[in-house]
Amino acid sequence: MKKNVASQSIGAQMITAADGTAFTGTVTVYITGDGGTQAIGGTASGVCTSEGNGYHSYVPTQAETNYDLIAFTFIGTAAIPATLQVFTSFP
């Protein structure tokens, strides 16, 4: 992911905790930059786009990419949480 650049995308495969199937409910993303405080995503109040078959994507704001290390935590009620850590680079 490029540092301090808007219009990028990140996603996670979400799994239903009860039976292991693809999770199709609402997923919200929380962002932690450089080990700071976790905050809900700024785009669409953190609500992700369901791309189908359990895959959900999120487009971070430019400010949310202005870190060296970003942790994106995807949460859904009745889903197993997924966290992806991303090191940024300069464009």
| Percent of the chain with pLDDT strictly greater than 70 | 100
Residue 12, CB-side half-sphere exposure with 13 Å CA sphere: 26
- The parts of the chain modelled with pLDDT lower than 50 are none
- pLDDT for 56-70, tens place per residue? 999 999 999 999 999
Q: Which of 21, 25, 57, 54 lies closest to 41 in space, CA to CA?
A: 57
The two tokens of residue 73 are 């935590």
Distance CA 65, CA 35 (A): 13
Residue 91: its pLDDT value, please?
Answer: 73
pTM of the model: 0.95
The Cα 81–Cα 91 span in angstroms is 30
